[in-house]
A and B are shown apart, each in its own frame.
Chain A
Amino acid sequence: MTQMDGYAGKIAYVDLTKGTIDIQETPTDLKRDYLGGRGFGTKIISDRMDPLVDPLSPENIFVFASGPTTGTGIPLGSRYEVSTKSPLNDTLMSANSGGTFGWKMKKAGFDAIVFEGRSAKPVYLYLNEGAAELRDASSYWGMDVHATTDAFLSDLGDKKAKIACIGPAGEKQSLLACVINDYDRAAGRSGAGAVLGSKNVKAVVATGNLSIEEADKDRLNAVKDRIRTKLQENGICEALTNYGTAVLVNIVNENYILPTHNFQSAHFENAENISGERMAETVLKKNSGCFACIVKCSRICEVDGVVNEGPEYEPMWAFGANLGIDDLNTVIKAAWECNKLGLDAIGTPTAIACAMEMQEKGYINNGPKFGEAAGIVELVRQIGLREGFGAELTDGSYRFAERHGHPELSMSVKKQDLPAYDPRGLQGHGLSYATSNRGGDHVYGYMISPEVLGAPEKLDPYTSDGKAAWVQVFQDLTAAIDASGMCLFSSFALDATDYADLTAATMGIDLDGPGFIRIGERIWNLQKLFNIKVGYTKADDTLPKRLLTEPLREGGPKGRVWEREPLLSEYYSVRGWDADGVPTDEKLRELGLK
């Protein structure tokens, strides 16, 4: 029976060891308390799995989940999440991706897929209008992401099918491996691709055209009109249409917070050469968007006769400024190579940056050098295939730097590398890094929005006052957005009430803005409880030593480091956690977690 609440109505529980699939109705309380996406993944894994399992063992659980707004036609409602215990850092991670796969998973009849166990041979999961089937994937094993996607579309004779898959990096269980859908859309971080690789799952293929019905169409249409207008009138969303995310290269550089040479400085002299403006002048062919998107921030570029989607700001920075490379074509080709191999396009180049500093300091003698573009694309290939010097880096910067006696040169939090903003000039964003439930990360609490861009209001990036409360709201709101199926970029224009109204009209429930954020808080605390059981403590809620002790040397933030206290203590307090960062019984009862 068709659901009238935005959901497809079914979850497929796949036992890869036995080769069986159990299809169950999506539980009502799961929908109400966790929405979908990151919420579904976090709750399902917390309920079904011992946090201490080896992440690359059959006992780990891997969840694909869309949200109630995914694929409903709500502008920017396109997202899905993958969740699992990260093999990179043991956290309960979720990674988000757009494109069309999340929509198609629901058209194929499923809100979520839960993989358990390990297949004896390579398989893929085929979803088609309420049916789910494990099929042999031996002929696809070894193919890169693009070839895999082409081969499925061709072999199935179904051009409307959508594919999420791993590349060779996932097969090799690189801890930088990700999951990619629609050729170039990555659920990029925390090594999720290695978990699918360990389970011998090459892909999920979704097809079909089941209807997705919302509960209160009249109300929803009115809300859609309202948010469409807000998105269209928002200056940041308009800029995303015009320049894509890479417009940030110059903005962040001029604020003197663009990490350069593995965070040794925060200003790159040649940033202009790898900027969104330069991309628009030279290699850009057109822009593109996910399902139902009216912003269309993605870039379609052509380099040396090859046309692909991307790259985004993060890999532009990570292969550019952070490696001291200003050759735009190399930066783009290296980012594309990550997508083809199924590699995290942040963690891969940041591992290279770490190796470059180790080389510069003489701690290794066979590594790459800052500023040398030649050989970077080949090094990415080696990382993806666990070959040559690339094999040294394929499990990320932390393990590499530790193995060579200098873990302090890994610019990571909880073994996951930091993205493209130097927190010494961003006190709130630094707190977000230190406390993110999946380690070094910018999309679990994007404080750049108020501290650099001025949305929803301008906050002084150099001060700590009030930032703990801001970080909590950003983290919780983001968790709820990730659960709802909406794109995080919508938050430049929308507020919690908008999301609550969209969700309530879609699902046919009562929900207000604070209630929406409360769902995110529940998810956040549940992730945190998992991580505590894994062994994470207050001591891990910090940043690399360099960012605490080596002041920036130029520009506005000259002389600044990231000040951990009193920010961290204030953060624990506003979260209702004890002084060691553990959620109190009272907080857990309040959230329905105890």
Chain B
Amino acid sequence: MQVTVKAFATLRNIMDSKFTEELEEGSTISDLLTTLMEKYSGLSDEIFEDGRRELKDFVNILVNGRNISFLNGLDTTLNNGDLVVLFPPAGGG
């Protein structure tokens, strides 16, 4: 299956801003991130706490506009055609 990935702010220093990714059926956000970290060195440092597979404070990942924190976290299952959005810590007012 195929998902679209968009990256914003400082993540664009290490990866493209928008691309598609082929994944096996039933893949999760965690699977997607593993794939992306193999392609883009530095991504792990940007989104995960040191040495742990836990999102840093203020890192937000959306699937079709919904934060994965309120879906199934890193275990959120992806479907063909999904839009996955990655935000590093960012904000304003």
Contacts and interface: CB of A to CB of B under 8 A. Distances in A.
B38 interface: no
B90 A458 contact: no
A446 B93 contact: yes
B12 interface: yes
Interface stretch (A22-30, A155-163, A449-457): A449-457
A277 interface: yes
Interface in B25-64: 56-60, 62, 64
Contacts of B57: 235, 454-455
Interface stretch (A106-114, A168-176, A249-257): A249-257
A492 B88 CA distance: 15
B91 A256 contact: no
A489 B92 CA distance: 7
A488 B92 CA distance: 10
A240 interface: yes
A235 B62 contact: no
Contacts of B93: 245, 248, 313, 442-443, 446, 448, 488-489
A242 B13 CA distance: 12
B33 to A, nearest CB: 17
A236 B62 CA distance: 18
A247 B58 contact: no
B19 interface: no
Interface of A: 234-236, 238-240, 242-248, 250-251, 254-256, 276-277, 297, 312-313, 442-443, 446, 448-449, 452-455, 458, 460-462, 488-489, 492, 554-557
Contacts of A488: 93
A247 B58 CA distance: 14
Of the candidates A251, A442, A446, A452, the one having the most CB atoms from chain B within 10 angstroms of its own CB is A251
A246 B70 CA distance: 25
A251 B87 contact: yes
Contacts of B10: 239, 242
Contact of B9 (A242, A256, A449, A489): A242
20 contacts: A235-B56, A235-B57, A235-B89, A239-B91, A243-B9, A243-B90, A248-B90, A248-B93, A250-B9, A254-B85, A277-B12, A312-B92, A313-B93, A453-B58, A453-B91, A454-B57, A455-B57, A458-B67, A492-B91, A556-B65
A461 B65 CA distance: 12
B92 A297 contact: yes
Contacts of A245: 92-93
Contacts of A297: 92
Contacts of B90: 235-236, 239, 243, 247-248, 251, 453
B27 to A, nearest CB: 20
A162 to B, nearest CB: 23
Contacts of A492: 91
Contacts of A234: 89
Interface of B: 6, 8-10, 12, 17, 56-60, 62, 64-67, 69-70, 85, 87-93
A234 B62 CA distance: 21
Contacts of B56: 235
B62 A254 contact: yes
A254 B91 contact: no
A248 B65 contact: no
Nearest to B57: A235
Contacts of A453: 58, 60, 90-91
A446 B91 CA distance: 12
Nearest to B70: A460
B57 to A, nearest CB: 6
A254 B6 contact: yes
A556 B58 contact: no
Given A235-B88, A313-B93, A247 B9 contact: yes
A136 B85 CA distance: 57
A569 B56 CA distance: 36
B65 A449 contact: no
Contacts of B60: 251, 452-454
B65 A236 contact: no
Of the candidates B8, B9, B17, B93, the one having the most CB atoms from chain A within 10 angstroms of its own CB is B93
Contacts of A240: 91-92
A247 B70 CA distance: 23
Contacts of A460: 67, 69-70
B92 A255 contact: no
A337 B16 CA distance: 35
Contacts of B67: 255, 458, 460-461, 556
A236 B58 contact: yes
A277 B8 contact: yes
A462 B71 CA distance: 12
Contacts of B88: 235, 239
A556 B89 CA distance: 20
Nearest to A238: B89
Q: Which 10 A-B pairs have the closest CB atoms?
A: A235-B89, A245-B92, A555-B65, A556-B65, A556-B66, A239-B90, A236-B91, A453-B91, A256-B65, A235-B58
Nearest to A446: B93
A453 B9 CA distance: 14
B64 A248 contact: no
Nearest to B92: A245
Contacts of A442: 93
Contacts of A313: 92-93
A492 to B, nearest CB: 6
B46 to A, nearest CB: 10
A454 B67 CA distance: 10
A247 B92 contact: yes
Nearest to B66: A556
Nearest to A492: B91
A458 B69 CA distance: 8
A245 B90 CA distance: 9
Nearest to B13: A242
B41 to A, nearest CB: 20
Given A277-B9, A453-B58, A255 B91 contact: no
A401 B31 CA distance: 51
A555 B65 CA distance: 5
Nearest to A460: B70
A282 to B, nearest CB: 14
